[in-house]
Chain A
Amino acid sequence: MTAKVEFDHRDSVGVALLSGDVDIAHASTLRKQLLSAVRNDDLGLVVDLTDARYIDSVGVSLLFELAERLSDRQLRFAVVIPDGGLVQRVLTIVHLDSVAQVHPGLDHAVAALRSDA
């Protein structure tokens, strides 16, 4: 499959919906789009992986890089991870929760970022 990112904006929180394969074949394209989407006047960014089918170590590193960039700018970072799939298994192994809030649904993630304000 291919990979795609769509952007949305909810209550001063940027939302990036990633679908398809977040992998070595697509990471460089996704990286450019994601890094350019971060806005300083936002509270933070939510990356929604609900429609992502696959993620490898290059995709994982992209999330870690994003976490670092956001943290440098004092912005918050949350990732929506669907229950019970490969994406969840992978992100558990690499301890994504050490750099990002992890939520099972988008509404939950946006609300959590806002309530920290």
Chain B
Amino acid sequence: MSAQVPADRLRDLRSVTDAALAYLPLEDLLNELLRRVVAILNADTAAILLLEDDDKTLAARAARGLEEEVERGVRIPVGKGFAGRIAASRQPVQIENIDEAEIVNPILREKGLRSLLGVPLLVEGGVIGVMHVGTLTERKFSGEDVELLQSAGDRAALAISSRLTERERGLADALQNSLIPRLPNLPALALTGRYLPAASAQLGGDWYDAFQLPDGRLGMAIGDVVGRGFYAAAIMGQLRSGLRAYALDSGAPGEVLGRLSRLLRQLEPGRTATVLYLVLDPYAGSLVASSAGHPPVLIAGSAGSTFVELPGSAPLGATRHPTYQEREHEVEPGSTLILYTDGLVERAGESLNDGFERLVRAVQGAEEDLEHLGDHLVDELLPGGTTDDDAALLLARALPMTDSLATRLPADVESIPLMRRMLGRWLHEAGATQAQAEDLSLATSEACANAIEHAYGPGPGILEVTASISPGGDALVAIRDYGSWRPPRGANRGRGLMLMEGLADSVEVVRGDEGTTVQLSRRLGAEAA
């Protein structure tokens, strides 16, 4: 058919995609394409509408002689009106007399257009948009006109699509980077995550997160939003924020997932996502997990690897009133939690079980260091890198505590539960009975609360907590602040001091120029009272 197009018009056509255009920003490129198309087809107006990420709407992105289309942000549902029909049918549409046609966009009539010709912008068989031209006088477009516009459309589509991919890639990197969390730094706990974008550079919906809860435990989440592209990534960001908010509020993993499911149904009905959320108490050696259709967490310890199986559950957003059951599991000191998305274990032509087995094998050959283990798992499970799916991995390991404990914490009420759990575990490892560990941890909490309330103003400060065992078998805990000491005031602090004195064998307050140190001691062991 192209043979019927005269040579000079073909030359014109080539101008639509000449190399110089490649360096223009996308909006300039579209405008320049339209200028050339108007000239070649001797039309009065031209416009390009591109399909939005929802695949349901066309949005005006560039126009010539119809600038209002872009300025007013015209949006046309696919299937409706002139442009919508072209996108839905993927066929050129010609309107000879606009009065006899169904038109959604009022600007076309306002401008006095009489005839229209539009073609789909196709990339690999998929519609990415519509390009149309219009005339102020009634015109019957010839087969040659249709052919020319479609050829121009094809070339434009390629240029736009490569430009979009490039733009999307830049945005994708920025978006994905903003969504990779900064993991909390907790004493005696190693934590690391990996996010692997899809090799196809499509924006994915995998994510992970880890954060400290108000009671000092650690929230860990990993998830996979079904779908790809900006919408999936944006939903992922909202789910991540939502999960944190619910987790800070409630803490119970099953409830958090139930609320998150309702959130997703409201954000985007029909969208589903899988999430695994667990609360780890690294100092008590236990976790509580709940899952919304997500593959189970793997715990790898000295005795082997165990998946924490949960009862079958629906993905978020899939059912109206989902219930997400919880399961508690022990976590031995030194064992590793492995949270992952299916992109890490799934391979084409294999069952998911093969992937799980491969994960267990990869963990067994594991390196000691958690960072190395992260790299090792990625190398073993995705030897050729990702393909068209992204993947995420989150690892945590409770480390054995050393002979003496030394930790610096923000002088903030939120540090107290964390300190209490950490000290409790250290005392346990040092041979304290449960009651001794509880008593000294509470006395230390009171000393910390004193320092937070009385040593510092509203600004930030630091608390240092150190603990050691004396040669005589006493546990010695020192709580140091760098503020200016004020005597405890009010009934709370009076009772705080009373508790410190009642729970520890001795309490000493040492005031220096640079701050105050409270020293507590308590005899440990079975013979101690």
Contact = CB atoms under 8 A, between A and B. Distances in A.
Pairing of A with B = yes
A25 B503 contact: no
Contacts of B445: 23-24, 56
Interface in A15-53: 21, 23-25
Contact of A56 (B214, B252, B442, B502): B442
B174 to A, nearest CB: 36
Nearest to A65: B491
A64 B416 CA distance: 22
Contact of A25 (B215, B250, B252, B439): B215
A57 B417 contact: no
Contacts of A86: 435, 438-439, 442
Contacts of A57: 446, 449, 492-493, 495-496, 498-499
Contacts of B498: 57, 93-94
From B252, B442, B446, B503, name the one whose CB has the most chain A CB atoms within 10 angstroms: B442
A1 B215 contact: yes
Given A2-B251, A58-B449, A25 B414 contact: yes
Contact of A89 (B413, B492, B493, B503): B503
Contacts of B442: 54, 56, 86, 90
Interface in B479-517: 491-493, 495-496, 498-499, 502-503
Interface in A51-109: 54, 56-58, 60-61, 64, 86, 89-90, 93-94
B87 to A, nearest CB: 51
B334 to A, nearest CB: 24
Interface residues of A, number: 18
Contact of B413 (A1, A2, A25, A94): A25
Question: How large, as a class, is the contact surface on chain B?
Answer: 20 to 34
Contacts of A24: 413, 416, 445, 449
Interface in B447-473: 449
Contacts of A89: 435, 439, 502-503
A2 B439 contact: no
A58 B492 CA distance: 6
From A24, A60, A86, A89, name the one whose CB has the most chain B CB atoms within 10 angstroms: A24
B417 A25 contact: yes
A75 B161 CA distance: 76
A64 B413 CA distance: 22
A60 B496 CA distance: 9
A90 B416 contact: no
Contacts of A2: 215, 250-252
Contacts of B416: 23-25
Nearest to A1: B215
B495 A61 contact: yes
Contacts of B435: 86, 89
A60 B439 contact: no
A116 B3 CA distance: 108
A25 B214 contact: yes
Nearest to A87: B438
Given A23-B417, A25-B215, A56-B445, A94 B495 contact: yes
A40 B185 CA distance: 49
Contacts of B414: 25
Nearest to A55: B442
Contacts of B503: 89-90, 93
B377 to A, nearest CB: 32
Contacts of A56: 442, 445-446, 449, 496, 499
Interface of B: 214-215, 250-252, 413-414, 416-417, 435, 438-439, 442, 445-446, 449, 491-493, 495-496, 498-499, 502-503
14 contacts: A1-B251, A2-B250, A2-B251, A21-B417, A24-B445, A25-B413, A25-B414, A57-B449, A57-B492, A57-B496, A61-B492, A93-B499, A94-B495, A94-B498
The 8 A-B pairs at the shortest CB distance, nearest first, are namely A93-B502, A57-B496, A57-B495, A86-B438, A2-B251, A61-B492, A60-B495, A25-B214
Interface of A: 1-2, 21, 23-25, 54, 56-58, 60-61, 64, 86, 89-90, 93-94
